Amino acid sequence: MMKKPVIGVFPLWDDEKDSIWMLPGYLRALQNAGAIPVVLPLEAEGEDARRLYELCDGLLLTGGHDVDPALYGQEKLPVCGPVCPARDKLERTFFRWAYAEDKPMLGICRGAQLVNVLLGGSLYQDLETQLPGAVRHRMEPPYSGVCHTVTLEPSGFLHALLGKDSIGVNSCHHQGICRVAPALRLEASAPDGLAEALSCPAHRFLIAVQWHPEFNYDQNSDSAALFTAFVGSCSVG
């Protein structure tokens, strides 16, 4: 009998409350797909961090604070939002281990941007000011609806998984992927040309999406399929 995989979920951070927190959709989507989600602490180092990492069969890089522009060689502009150094540090450590050891990872929103940055890509610190003419990428709640469409690359993983040329997605971000990292392949683009999903062909499962499937996994078959594929790649005997 197959054991349910354990998925490490990186926490969100609340500056005002000085506290970690979590959107239940991330956890429920993983449970719905057959996994056991575990919310990781914000800070862990050395042997403690390694032990936590080894407990996980896969990693979910969640949304949240802006990625520190220093990670992609830029100064922080006034239009950049708050950053969380402790989270950047923890995720960078876990990502490097997982990338080197071919452990499955799924990046969502900030998580997608971080994957791109850690592999040598860059970001727009603010789409409204740095990408004139961009489509609307920040919708009003509820976030389960569609904000805009994305075109799926014909030879990509998502096209094969979903069997579609385009899909409607929700959207809630003010930063975006600028230069795609050399190790990554474009999976989907918005009507304004912004990269909306990336994959790493050399990795067992490394998919990064800019939209939020955790908000509609229970009513959108495309979102559910993404979580199912991710959990399936993490399965253990």
Q: At what angle do helices 221-233 and 24-32 cross, to 10 degrees?
A: 70
Give catalytic residues, as residue numbers: 109, 212, 214
CB 120 within 8 A of CB 183: yes
CB 66 within 8 A of CB 110: yes
What is the number of H-type helices and E-type strands within the chain? 7, 13
